[in-house]
Structure formats: structure tokens, C-alpha cells
């Protein structure tokens, strides 16, 4: 699906960004070897990129999910929000870094049930949280907890939704081009 920019946002670079954003961009460049396109757009308002980075790091480090579970959450949020950029990026991360099983990744990308029952419960609950704007039904919460998750995980999903809201919405407005590193996972 081709998107067209809805807003004229000039992406920042390490040379044009505020000092805190420049530091984030330079750190990212040194770690990844490139700066994801969406970072330049989010950095146009420093608090957006800084908020994203803080929420992202805390979700990764503190929410209690395994790497495959983390990607299940991020991909579920991005799919519901229709963010093709984040779907491509997190598909690559899921495949190459987090080692999410291929059948589960394909199901997440297709919006179908996941073969892994626990990951399916996670994807189902995450999608419901996004679609219902954080107001799932009590049976949905109970089913999620019965699948082996905790109240901390529910809060982690809230955090991931906040994180992905930053990136998904900015990507929609800017029509962010998928980086070469994620191109093999582009959504048709």
C-alpha cells in the first residue's frame, strides 16, 4: 500500500537536530549502522522521539516479555494501526533477532490465529486493547491472564501501545519510506 504524506515534516539529522535528539540519532547510527527514517521525522519535535525511545527501552527491559512476545505485541499494535513501516521493521526484528517462529510471524502479518497458543493469546489481547482503546471486556482480561500472563504484562501492553502510537501515527503523517534494512519485509 502506498501512502502519501499528509503533513510536510522535514526530518532532522544529527547536524540539524537539537542536542538531545542528535545524541539519540548518533547513538542509533553507531549501534545499527543507519538511522531509521522514522527517527528523523519523530525528532522534528524532540519530545516525540525522546518519548518513543523511553517507552521503547522500558518496554524492552521492564515489561517482562520474551523477545518473541515483544515482537508479537509490537506487530499486533502496528497491524491494527495499519502502520506498514513498523510492520516491516518489526517483522525483520522478529525474524532475524527475536527468532519468532516463521509460522507465527506469517500469522501476525496476515492477521490470522498464531499456531503458538500463548502467542496467539497475546496477539488477541493486544489487538483488543488497541481496537477497544484500552477498554477490554473482563472475560478478555481473564482469558489473557489464564494464558500465563500477569497484570504487569497488561501494563506492558499499555506501554507498547503508547510507544507504537508515537511511531505509527508519525509514520502515517509523514508516509515514512521503509528503510533498506527492512525492505525484505515490506507490506504489499
Domain locations in the chain? Answer: 19-185
**Domain 19-185 architecture:** Up-down Bundle (1.20)
Per-residue confidence (pLDDT) for residue 157, from 0 to 100:
98
Residue 73 to residues 29, 59, 127, 180: CA-CA distances in angstroms?
25, 10, 8, 23
Per-residue confidence (pLDDT) for residue 2, from 0 to 100:
62
Cα 185 to its chain centre, rounded Å, is 14
Per-residue confidence (pLDDT) for residue 7, from 0 to 100:
83
Neighbours of 1 (CB within 10 A): 7
Cα 113 to its chain centre, rounded Å, is 19
Per-residue confidence (pLDDT) for residue 133, from 0 to 100:
97
What is the spatial distance between Cα 42 and Cα 135, in angstroms, rounded to a whole number? 28
Which cell is 22 given? 542528535
Instruction: Give me the tens of pLDDT residue by residue for the chain, a chain 188 residues long.
Output: 467 888 889 999 999 999 999 999 999 999 999 999 999 999 999 999 999 999 999 999 999 999 999 999 999 999 999 999 999 999 999 999 999 999 999 999 999 999 999 999 999 999 999 999 999 999 999 999 999 999 999 999 999 999 999 999 999 999 999 999 999 999 97
Report the half-sphere exposure of 133 (CA within 13 A, side-chain side): 0
What is the spatial distance between Cα 24 and Cα 27, in angstroms, rounded to a whole number? 5
pTM above 0.85, yes or no: yes
Which cell is 63 given? 515489561
Residues 43, 17: contact at Cβ < 8 Å?
yes
Per-residue confidence (pLDDT) for residue 3, from 0 to 100:
76
What is the spatial distance between Cα 148 and Cα 35, in angstroms, rounded to a whole number? 36
Amino acid at each position: 500500500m502506498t501512502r502519501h504524506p499528509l503533513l510536510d515534516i522535514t526530518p532532522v539529522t544529527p547536524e540539524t537536530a537539537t542536542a538531545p535528539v542528535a545524541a539519540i540519532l548518533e547513538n542509533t547510527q553507531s549501534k545499527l549502522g543507519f538511522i531509521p527514517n522514522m527517527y528523523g521525522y519523530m525528532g522534528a519535535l524532540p519530545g516525540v522521539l525522546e518519548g518513543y525511545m523511553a517507552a521503547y527501552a522500558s518496554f524492552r527491559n521492564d515489561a517482562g516479555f520474551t523477545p518473541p512476545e515483544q515482537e508479537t505485541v509490537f506487530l499486533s499494535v502496528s497491524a491494527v494501526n495499519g502502520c506498514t513501516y513498523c510492520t516491516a521493521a518489526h517483522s525483520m526484528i522478529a525474524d532475524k533477532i527475536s527468532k519468532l517462529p516463521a509460522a507465527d510471524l506469517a500469522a501476525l502479518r496476515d492477521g490470522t490465529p498464531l499456531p503458538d497458543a500463548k502467542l496467539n493469546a497475546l496477539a488477541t489481547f493486544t489487538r483488543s486493547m488497541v481496537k477497544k482503546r484500552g477498554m477490554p471486556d473482563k472475560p478478555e482480561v481473564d482469558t489473557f491472564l489464564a494464558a500465563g500472563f500477569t497484570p504487569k504484562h497488561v501494563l506492558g501492553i499499555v506501554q507498547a501501545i503508547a510507544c507504537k502510537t508515537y511511531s505509527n501515527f508519525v509514520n502515517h503523517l509523514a508516509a515514512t519510506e521503509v528503510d533498506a534494512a527492512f525492505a525484505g519485509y515490506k507490506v504489499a
